[in-house]
Structure 1
């Protein structure tokens, strides 16, 4: 195999590596996945934090709660403390006069920039139409710098149609629904994880195809040169 053949193969392999690595790095932002997306249902939403601010460890995660979510129960995390920001409800409901507008997780020990962690909130999703997007803006505070996960990068879930009377339970049924949601969170595999795995597999297979093609191209060029001689 001559130098030209080797160079051609190296270019194709390098391009394949870039094609595989670029989408992976671009997708490395804070995401949200839910045990239930049915409008009005109780759901445990998991916020996954895959990295710090560039090379700086994460010290706090602040999750903004949409106005139409009135019930929020944070899950404890061994390495973090949490607090809530409460605001008055206007008008108040029969059950509450205020709501949680933010949940703030503060690191006991900063999360290294090359490590990941996750945070769970049990919420009652708002009523809405299938396809409505519920956004949870997140502020990631680091030892140096800050990342605002908003706009196109905002963690969000998409509502599906309401199921039965899941949106109209009273107190006792609501507690049962929330407990069921928390139990489901322990057993369920977040949809975003499955989608991400499938996406990575597709890129790996595509990259393998390009590498095989590069090998075939190199072999063909070599064979033609030998025939010409």
Structure 2
């Protein structure tokens, strides 16, 4: 093996390690560069507070505003007042909120987490999936988080996915969980019924055991 080949191996190894480090640092950064929503699951017919958060601007430019479009199937929308944002509400012909724009009083620097929230109400006819397209405006440029995964497509493979909330079906009646809990508590509180025959047999066995013990003691004393 030549000296040149031996010298190249450490250099290639070093380059590989550095490349892996760069990739390890870049992947979490790219994965976190989106607008997320929490919680990502609600129950049909229920209410909940959705929080939309982000930690990156547009190409590292500070964020100035978020415009969130409401999907069909929401019975009500009420943006949360926040001293860090001005809020503008748009309504459709039906009077329901169609979009909400949050404008930052001070641009949110890159790598600092920003968040806005709103209360939403669902009805029984709300679809199983609610997508909230978001346009993130920055000091320089903007990013449209509006992509939706097709059937069988991994949402994580999208470059600019829209925040999505899954809707689960409501229980058959609104008190199903409470009834189950009450039933469990009632069962736990109910005293266990006694069996007279079992008690009699147990007592008889105890007496027989004591008698056998006495006989054994007497027999032992006689032998002694």
**What range is the shorter-chain TM-score in?**
0.5 to 0.7
TM-score, normalised with respect to structure 1: 0.60
Q: Which residue does 1:25 correspond to in 2?
A: 29
The reply to whether residue 102 of structure 1 matches residue 99 of structure 2 is yes
- Say whether the 8 Å CA contact 1:69–1:123 is kept in structure 2: yes
The reply to whether residue 148 of structure 1 matches residue 144 of structure 2 is yes
TM-score, normalised with respect to structure 2: 0.61
CA distance in 2, matches of 1:52, 1:108: 15
Computing the radius of gyration from Cα coordinates, the structure with the larger value is: 2
- Which structure has more relative contact order (CA 8 Å, sep 6+)? It is 1
Aligned Cα root-mean-square deviation (Å): 2.4
- Say whether the 8 Å CA contact 1:38–1:163 is kept in structure 2: no
Shift in CA distance, 26/55, structure 1 to aligned 2, threshold 3 Å: closer
Runs of 5+ consecutive residues of structure 2 not aligned to the other structure: 1-5, 149-160, 175-224
| Deviation of the 1:129 alpha carbon | 8.4
The reply to whether residue 162 of structure 1 matches residue 170 of structure 2 is yes
Runs of 5+ consecutive residues of structure 1 not aligned to the other structure: 90-97, 167-229
Q: Deviations over 1:17-68 (max 9, x none)?
A: 2442343132211111217522222111110121111132222111111121
CA distance in 1, matches of 2:70, 2:116: 14
The reply to whether residue 62 of structure 1 matches residue 63 of structure 2 is no
Q: How many residues align?
A: 156
The reply to whether residue 51 of structure 1 matches residue 56 of structure 2 is yes
